[in-house]
Amino acid sequence: MKNLSILTGLFLLGTSIFSACTKPTAPQAEVKGDYSNVSKEKLDFLGITDINHLSAASKRALDWPDSLNNDWFGEFSVHNLKGDLAYEEGVVRRDPSALLFIDGLYYVFYSKSVGKTDGFGGDIENEKVFPWDRCDIWYATSHDGWTWKEEGVAVERGDKGTFDDRSVFTPEVMEYDGKYYLCYQTIKSPYNVRTKNQVGLAYADSPRGPWKKLSEPILSPADNGVWKGEEQNRFLVEKKGDFDSHKVHDPCIIPYKGKFYLYYKGEQMGEAITFGGRQIRHGVAIADNPLGPYVKSPYNPISNSGHEICVWKHKDGIMSLITTDGPEKGTVQFAADGINFNIQASIPGAPHAMGLNRSLNTNEGFAIFGWGLTHKYHNYDYQHIQRFQGRRKTAHTAKNEKAANKKATR
């Protein structure tokens, strides 16, 4: 009887498994739409031969705009620099700004600090918790984009007790109407894991300065999140608040349609890990004057992915490179109004913290990535600035495939 019970159980188990394997499963989500008028050419291009049986993936493909092309298909390489921006032991140089090109000379601004990173948990009043802690903003110049001369400090940390007394870092530069504007992140001591970052601004009549800092930040995190308890734990919250309730990072100001669009990265209190990685999103604040006041758009966040801000004017709108975090990372996105961004292409492999060369053609897709600057982690303690180069690809072929085709057609 015992053996019979075992055999019966195995039979029922096998029947259950067979039934589960052969029973059709319903789609997880039905994608609706009428595709009866799709052209034969589009169906052939997408490899869809049965219009009556469309998977969710096929329906998404049919919904792609016809304007999609390979203007953004390319690859990147990264190279060491010469001169003062070559790697230097014990020194952090990172977060290069976009490049200015003035009278035959390139200018770049960047974060600079010295010494190793100690992290949290020690003497945070005197130690260094991140590589971008205890930074000032420096600048360098170059005639060819390869050999750079470090010129000195552009913007220093503020006096003790000011909103930027701990660190000023991650700069971006804008030229407008003969004047120059540097926006950057700021930290006020003490630097704990719950410290809220802000954005500062300085301006000058020349890229060489002198730079005059505004006495107050131009952008701050939202104040509608609530920490849970008193422990220095940034993941413990009673209410997370807006997408930028903890930090506003990586600012970049673009003159656009008679106003000034300040794009930035937002970090939320109690930041989560989602199916796309860290929960990082972008926002924008808009002003009538480059010095502000900047008012956050009611449509924020304007991305559901991204990390460092990399935006530029493209035709009549704004392009954004979305990297590192989120379900739409590795894409370029376009907004005709500077706010409502839609994916234009997948663009994997883009270097981190790209400082664009805005003197390049910004209206021909991948051309904006011809060359610029980035930073590389030599190790966690020390980073240095490098040059990236981009090359557009218009085809993919096997080794010697083109040569073989030529022989075959002779």
Average pLDDT by consecutive 10-residue portion of the chain (410 residues)? Answer: 41 39 43 80 92 92 81 94 97 98 97 95 89 97 98 98 97 97 97 95 98 98 96 94 97 97 97 92 98 98 96 96 95 97 92 94 92 96 97 85 66
Domain total in the chain: 2
3-state secondary structure of 113: strand
pLDDT of residue 65: 78
Cα torsion 313, 318, 321, 325 to 10°: value is 150
The verdict on 50 and 110 lying in the same domain is: no
Find the angle CA(295)-CA(181)-CA(108) to the nearest 5 degrees. 130
Structural domain containing residue 51: 40-69
pLDDT of residue 279: 93
| 207, 173 Cβ separation under 8 angstroms | yes
The verdict on 107 and 178 lying in the same domain is: yes
The verdict on 290 and 236 lying in the same domain is: yes
Asked whether residue 405 is assigned to any structural domain, the reply reads no
Asked whether residue 179 is assigned to any structural domain, the reply reads yes
DSSP 363: S
The verdict on 119 and 250 lying in the same domain is: yes
The verdict on 60 and 105 lying in the same domain is: no
The verdict on 137 and 45 lying in the same domain is: no
The verdict on 50 and 182 lying in the same domain is: no
| 246, 274 Cβ separation under 8 angstroms | no
CATH code of 146's domain: 2.115.10.20
pLDDT of residue 361: 86
pLDDT of residue 5: 43
Give the span between the Cα atoms of 318 and 309, in whole angstroms: 12
Asked whether residue 34 is assigned to any structural domain, the reply reads no
**For residue 160, which of 118, 116, 190 has the smallest C-alpha distance?**
190
Asked whether residue 27 is assigned to any structural domain, the reply reads no
Number of H helices, E strands in the chain: 4, 26
Give the span between the Cα atoms of 87 and 80, in whole angstroms: 8
Find the angle CA(197)-CA(202)-CA(204) to the nearest 5 degrees. 165
pLDDT of residue 137: 98
Asked whether residue 87 is assigned to any structural domain, the reply reads yes
Locate the DSSP E strands across 105-258.
105-114, 136-142, 147-155, 167-176, 179-187, 198-204, 212-213, 226-227, 237-239, 247-256
| 131, 92 Cβ separation under 8 angstroms | yes
Give the span between the Cα atoms of 93 and 88, in whole angstroms: 9
Concatenated DSSP letters of 206-225: STT---EE-SS-SB---S--
Give the span between the Cα atoms of 76 and 55, in whole angstroms: 34
The verdict on 49 and 113 lying in the same domain is: no
DSSP 25: P
3-state secondary structure of 59: helix
pLDDT of residue 192: 93
Give the span between the Cα atoms of 91 and 113, in whole angstroms: 6
pLDDT of residue 401: 77
Asked whether residue 12 is assigned to any structural domain, the reply reads no
pLDDT of residue 327: 94
Give the span between the Cα atoms of 112 and 138, in whole angstroms: 6
The verdict on 44 and 109 lying in the same domain is: no
Asked whether residue 103 is assigned to any structural domain, the reply reads yes
Both structure tokens of 284: 């924008």
Asked whether residue 177 is assigned to any structural domain, the reply reads yes
CA 233 and chain centroid, separation: 25
The verdict on 64 and 88 lying in the same domain is: no
3-state secondary structure of 34: coil
CATH code of 56's domain: 1.10.8.360
H or E stretch including 45? helix 40-46
The verdict on 50 and 91 lying in the same domain is: no
Three-class secondary structure assignment of 257-314: CCEEEEEEEEECCCCCEECCEECEEEEEEEECCCCCCCEECCCCCCCCCCCCCCEEEE
The verdict on 239 and 179 lying in the same domain is: yes
Q: Is the pTM of this model over 0.95?
A: no
Write the CB contacts of 62 (distance below 8 Å, at least 6 apart in sequence).
33, 35, 38, 42, 46, 48, 54
Give the span between the Cα atoms of 3 and 280, in whole angstroms: 59
